[in-house]
A and B are shown apart, each in its own frame.
Chain A
Amino acid sequence: MKREGEIRISSGCAISGIFCRDGSRITAEAIKKSIAVMHNRSNGLGGGFAGYGIYPQYRDFYALHIFYDSQSSREETERFLDRRFDIINLSKIPVRQTSKISDAPLIWRYFITPLPHLLQDSQLDENEYTSRAMIAINNSIEGAYAVSCGKDMGVFKAVGYPEDVADFYRLEEYEGYSWTAHGRYPTNTPGWWAGSHPFSLLDLTVVHNGEISSYDANRRSVEMYGYSCNLLTDTEVITYILDYLTRKQGLTLREASEVIAAPFWSTIAAKDEDERSRLAYLRKMFSSFLVTGPFSILVGFDGGMMALNDRLKLRSLVAAEKGRTVYFSSEEAAIRAIEENPDKVWAPRGGEAVIVTLDGEKR
């Protein structure tokens, strides 16, 4: 059977997210409990988490999580990194032996920073420099897969049920202000850890439930701008589109949401003149990045989280608030499991992004 990336595998899913606007850092126990409620929405073939604020002692360095198939791919990758980055620290990511998770690759973590003279010669900013290096590792080093590469954040994923993945990675030992989780229900066996979610580039992580019908139109367009879709998953292409629109085109996340889940022309026509021309501009300018078909996504980024549904709301997505903490999930039950009495529970409308940021930050 072909590995993920050689074929396109569609999947249904569960997603969940917790965001502490006051910046208080919580362990992953709550997010694990929340995603575990939706056990039936996944089938044991993929689970994962993204945490933000988890590496405060290394917050100025890129935290690199990498899967290796072999020691030789690790050695090759480390040589690759060594030539381009200052490696501040490296170690295996600590894991717990559990019968529910098997066939683990070698899982390593690095804290790195670009070598200053090379960064200067490249005429790139450090984010672009680092993202290109990560894309190069995934494209060209056999058996190496960079799972995440942002600052003060990390992605932990595996083949298995999400609650077992949390135990495997000992996530109760990490504290962060923002967590997302994903349970996967792929339609056939991927058997490859990198195919699990969240998908990530720099500080951007995406967990996604759905199957987008615009996939190949989006993929072929985003690949024009230097991205390479190796996994053939929706999550990967959505992540790259968001990175392109926000980091390279300079759109705000809200504007990016108005591109990928653009309002219908009939809706745009009913707006006042300024808004009409703004929304029409975004649709015309970035028409290749309209995403159709069902999706609900949680986008984690440095200092914030965005929840977004496709414009017809073909997938469930619920939001809730309690004090300064915000919850998102595929099902309300998964929120109630960790917060019995939210101040407010609502279902965001299709195409209407909910964006939360740390108090005092705006993005």
Chain B
Amino acid sequence: MNCRFRIRTYDNCLSCFRCARECSFGAIEVSESKALAFHHERCVDCQRCVSLCPVGAIYITEAENRFRPNSVFAQNDIQEILIQAETGGALLSSMGASGRNVPIYFDKMLLNASQVTNPSIDPLREPMETAVFLGQRPDGIKRDRDGRIVDNLPPHLELKTPIMFSAMSYGAISLNVHKALAAAAEEIGTYWNTGEGGLHESLYRYKKNTIVQVASGRFGVHETYLNSAAAIEIKIGQGAKPGIGGHLTGKKIIGDISKTRMVPEGLDAISPAPHHDIYSIEDLAQLVMSLKEATGYRKPVIVKVAAVHNIAPIASGIARSGADIISIDGYRGGTGAAPKRIRDNVGIPIELAIAAVDQRLREERIRDRVSVIVSGGIRNSSDAVKAIALGADAVSIGTAALCALGCHICASCHTGKCAWGLATQDPELTKRLDPEKGAEKLVNLVSAWTREIKEIMGGMGINSIEALRGNRRALRGVDLNAKELEILGIEYAGE
């Protein structure tokens, strides 16, 4: 029998069977003779058993058996063929892309620091500003009759730190995860995003820190929903699966999810690939204006797209559609479920997309008119700093936020069996996440990153985040070719 992982134990195992109770994939069971029974082939390496074993007696390894090495067909390729030959279906996967040969450009860019000619700034002694404002800016100022400047800025989002939470829908993830995200966003002074599955009524009170999403399925979209948010996001696409829609199986459409999504229980919730009222850019402009009409022009409208080949002109079109903010999700962005071939082969890395979009918007002289949020594989504070230096206003984190709640990226969200209780609706599993404790972890994570961002900025002698935005001289490349440097708009280390 083929399996990827092997479950192992040390001899200090107490036989408490905690691991068996924690395993939601049926890989660890208790036999009739009251001994642990391992079904290695079911193990997804989610690390739940390892994390909760009271004596550290269990661990997971790669299986020793391997297919006959072949320079073209890797083991994985053959295994996938076997699965498809068996089932006749498209391969499903979840979380972010795993294209091993696609570079992570964040790792190939290095940051600057001040030496001699200008001073670094100590964030413990001097103010270090990380507040970000997202929204449109008019072309010029206005004065009243007495010459006083009139505030003609359209509605903005105010973030205390340039880190937000990415869209993850109720249904794909549990209500407890939504609760944790909402409470954390409120405490941090940033925003969380409902995703396309509507907003549970109990979370309406987080209105000031909520972004509600309008996606192609229009699940759970109604007037109260739109008005229970600080901003509205039109989701055109996401980095994990550009160009295709979504599919939440009827099994997950139960109880409150059915009510919130406004989809009958047990019925599959299918998001069409395109919005059927947006077949072109002028249609997008109409939807942007409709949503603004519905909310009295009091909320900024975000348009979220996946980073694809033509991302620069697409972003420029969005900027001219009346949208206030563009959100771009890169190749490595996560998902609760996506066809594997799409996830691993469609789209472009977010670093190149940021650079191309920022540059294009500047060439068209409209960069100051819109704000840009980026996401898709932001792993830590230095990724965030590099994204901002390339030209983003703020970053948004999904996978990293789930990791803070326990996720170990086993990429099995689509099975609905998440042992960490995140990407599941099984009440036995969802209760594994205490929303309050979860919120605390998220607050800790974002606070830690913010502290690190201040430290990095201080080292560069920059004491406000806006002076970092698009400041590409703060970056130097290593292990990059001339074309990559040109697109990123940076110089090589040593230049």
> Are B114's CB and A213's CB within 8 A?
yes
Q: Check if B54 is an interface residue, CB within 8 A of chain A.
A: no
Which B residues are CB-close (under 8 A) to A8? Answer: 473
Verify B466–A220 contact, CB threshold 8 A: no
- Bound Cα distance from A214 to B141, whole angstroms: 23
B466 engages A213 (CB within 8 Å): no
Question: Measured between alpha carbons, how far is A100 from B79 in the docked complex, in Å?
Answer: 79
Interface residue from B133, B362, B462, B469 paired with A213 (Cβ < 8 Å): B462
Q: How far is the CA of A108 from the CA of B239 in the complex (A)?
A: 58
Decide if A293 touches B461 in the complex (CB within 8 Å).
yes
Bound-state Cα–Cα, A299 to B301, Å: 40
A287 touches B470 (CB 8 A): no
Whole-angstrom CA separation of A51 from B166 in the bound complex:
56
Query: How many angstroms from the CA of A225 to the CA of B138 in the assembled complex?
Result: 14
Q: Can you list 14 pairs linking A and B with CB atoms under 8 Å apart? A: A212-B118, A214-B468, A217-B466, A220-B470, A221-B368, A224-B367, A249-B140, A277-B151, A278-B149, A287-B133, A288-B367, A290-B467, A293-B461, A312-B126
Known: A221-B367, A287-B133. A312 touches B118 (CB 8 A): no
Interface size on B, residues (CB 8 A): 38
Sorting the interface of chain A by its residue count into under 10, 10 to 19, 20 to 34 or 35 or more gives 35 or more
Question: Judging by beta carbons under 8 Å apart, are A215 and B362 in contact?
Answer: no
Q: Is B137 an interface residue (CB 8 A)?
A: yes
Q: Does B129 contact A (CB under 8 A)?
A: yes
B474 touching A216, Cβ below 8 Å: yes
Chain A: minimal CB distance from B436 (Å) = 30
Find the residue from A8, A282, A292 having the highest chain B CB count within 10 A.
A292
A124 at the interface (CB under 8 A from B): no
* Contact status A285-B129, CB under 8 Å: no
A250 and B468 in contact (CB under 8 A), knowing A10-B117, A213-B460, A312-B463? no
The answer, among B133, B141, B367, B473, for a CB contact under 8 Å with A215, is B473
B365 within 8 A of A: yes
Q: Are A211 and B362 in contact, with the CB atoms below 8 A?
A: no
- Are B467 and A292 in contact (CB-based, < 8 A)? yes
Q: Which residues 257-277 of A have a CB within 8 angstroms of B? A: 262, 264-266, 277
Chain B residue with Cβ nearest A8: B473
B151, A211: Cβ atoms closer than 8 Å? no
The reply to whether A265 and B463 contact each other, CB–CB distance below 8 Å, is no
**Chain A residues within 8 Å of B151, by CB:** 277, 281
Could you tell me if A291 and B467 are in contact, using CB atoms closer than 8 angstroms?
yes
* A23 contacts B by Cβ under 8 Å: no
> CB-CB contacts of B69-91 with A at 8 A, as 1s and 0s?
00000000000000000000000
Residue pair A265, B468 in contact (C-beta under 8 Å) = no
- Is B472 close to A, CB under 8 A? yes
The 4 A-B pairs with the shortest beta carbon distances in the complex, nearest first, are A214-B467, A213-B461, A216-B473, A217-B471
B-side contacts of A292, CB under 8 Å? 461-464, 467
- Are B474 and A314 closer than 8 Å at their CB atoms? no
B contact residues around A281 at 8 Å (CB):
149, 151, 153
Contacts of A285 in B (CB 8 A): 137-138, 141, 153
Residues of A1-36 contacting chain B, CB below 8 A:
8, 10-12
Which of A215, A216, A294, A312 has the most chain B CB atoms closer than 10 A to its own CB?
Answer: A216
Cβ of A264 and Cβ of B129 under 8 Å apart? yes
Is the beta-carbon distance between B473 and A290 smaller than 8 angstroms?
no
Please give me the residue from chain A that is nearest to B388 by CB atom.
A217
A210 at the interface (CB under 8 A from B): yes
Q: Does B156 contact A (CB under 8 A)?
A: yes
CB neighbours (8 Å) of A187 from chain B are: 117
Q: A213-B462, A220-B362, A285-B153 are in contact. Are A250 and B467 (CB under 8 A)?
A: no
Is B119 engaged at the interface, CB distance under 8 Å to the other chain?
Answer: yes
The CA of A216 and the CA of B489, in the complex, are separated in Å by 11
> B306 at interface (Cβ–Cβ under 8 A)?
no
Chain B residues in 8 Å Cβ range of A12: 117
- List the B side residues contacting A359 at CB < 8 Å: none
B127 within 8 A of A: yes
Q: Are B471 and A266 in contact (CB under 8 A)?
A: no
The verdict on A210 contacting B118 (CB below 8 Å), with A215-B471, A290-B464 known, is yes
CB pair B127 A216 closer than 8 Å: no
Asked whether A255 is an interface residue with its Cβ less than 8 Å from the other chain, the reply is yes
- Select from chain B the residue with minimum beta-carbon distance to A280: B151
A216–B491 CA distance with the chains assembled, in angstroms: 12
Is B141 within 8 A of A288, CB to CB?
no
**CB-based contact B467/A10 at 8 Å:** no
Task: Verify if A117 is at the interface (C-beta below 8 Å from B).
Answer: no
Residue of chain B at shortest CB distance from A220: B470
Residue B318 at the chain A interface, CB threshold 8 Å: no
Are the C-beta atoms of B117 and A217 separated by less than 8 Å? no
Q: A277 to B153: give the CA distance in the assembly, Å.
A: 11
Instruction: Apart from A287-B469, A292-B461, list 18 A-B contacts with CB within 8 A.
Output: A10-B118, A216-B474, A220-B470, A220-B472, A221-B362, A225-B365, A250-B143, A262-B464, A264-B127, A265-B131, A284-B133, A285-B137, A285-B141, A285-B153, A293-B118, A294-B118, A294-B461, A312-B126
B121 interfacial contact with A, CB 8 Å:
yes
Which residues of chain A have C-beta atoms less than 8 A from B131's C-beta? 265
Q: Provided the pairs A216-B470, A255-B149 are in contact, do residues A211 and B141 lie with their beta carbons within 8 angstroms?
A: no
B464 proximity list for chain A (CB < 8 A): 262, 290, 292
Report A-chain residues with C-beta under 8 Å of the C-beta of B127.
264-266
Q: Can you list, as one digit per residue, whether each of A111-123 has a CB less than 8 Å from chain B (1) or not (0)? A: 0000000000000
Give Cα A255 to B137, complex, Å: 18
Which residue in B114, B156, B462 is a CB contact (below 8 Å) of A214? B462
> In angstroms, how far is the closest chain B Cβ from the Cβ of A303?
19
